[in-house]
Amino acid sequence: MSNSNGKVAVITGATGGIGFEVAKRLGKDGYTVVLNGIEDEIGAQRVKELTALGITSEYYGFDMTKDEEVTANIKKIGEKYGKIDVLVNNTGGIGVRARFEEMTTEQYRFVMALNLDSVFYASRAAIPFLKKGENPTIINYTSNAAWNGAGPGAGIYSVSKGGVQSITRALAKDLAEYGIRVNAVSPGTIDTPFHAQIKATKPEVFASWANSVLLGRLGQPEEVASVVSFLASKDASFITAETIQIGGGQALGI
């Protein structure tokens, strides 16, 4: 595997969609990429795909909503490489759809764990190793939902992403003295498997989404990966506590 002098990036939820594009991009940027996921067969396949591209990578299977699993595995990764240079907290999702009146406490807890707790667990465990990193940085994912309350049934997603917005700024303040930068990206509607079901069952709805985007189209995963690449690079060395919208102007509404 890569020696400890190489740059190391840990990307959670990286076996598909935007996460895997980020892994490919950071790999091409010269990082050894460590992918996390919960589908071990897909994880193994992704490592093969990265190897074929000449990228050094590893897969660790663990559940980002489970405190002990995250802590133990991030520690294992950090100790193996002697440092972590970049942590990309990519894990997340709608989780469940429920109006607040019908929402169970279990559903509430799950969505918060998936989107917010996961960022806390991974960041906390990675900080000692980021302190040893080169140009160390954490990159989180928020959403327009953090501001607009999301659609009916996705309210708790909005709440969790609002938390990510806050923890990004709070971590940036907490870690500035160590030279660790913390930023977030806020992808708009990106054409990934995340939207596959609606694309297949209601293509007209899917197509209509482009109408709400100033640039008149949906984003591609590579267009998120390129911004993550920038935020991880020395070119972004004076950027911290920021959120970059990657939505083709969608946040403005039309």
- Residues with catalytic roles: 157
Question: For the chain, where are the alpha helices, taking DSSP H only?
Answer: 17-28, 40-52, 67-81, 105-112, 118-130, 145-148, 155-175, 196-201, 203-209, 221-232
Rounded to whole angstroms, the maximal C-alpha distance in the chain is 53
Residue 159, helix vs strand vs coil: helix
Helix (H, G, I), strand (E, B) or coil at 245: strand
Contacts of 25 (CB under 8 A, 6+ apart): 222, 225, 226, 228, 229
Spatial contact of 136 and 231, defined as CB atoms under 8 Å apart: no
Are the C-beta atoms of residues 23 and 45 closer than 8 Å to each other?
Answer: no
Residue 254 exposed, middle or buried by CB count within 10 Å (0-12, 13-18, 19+): exposed
Alpha carbon 86 to its chain centroid, in Å, reads 12
Q: CA 231, 76, 44: angle at the middle one, nearest 5? A: 75
- Is residue 137 classed as helix, strand or coil in its secondary structure? strand
Q: Is 234 exposed, middle or buried (0-12, 13-18, 19+ CB in 10 A)?
A: exposed
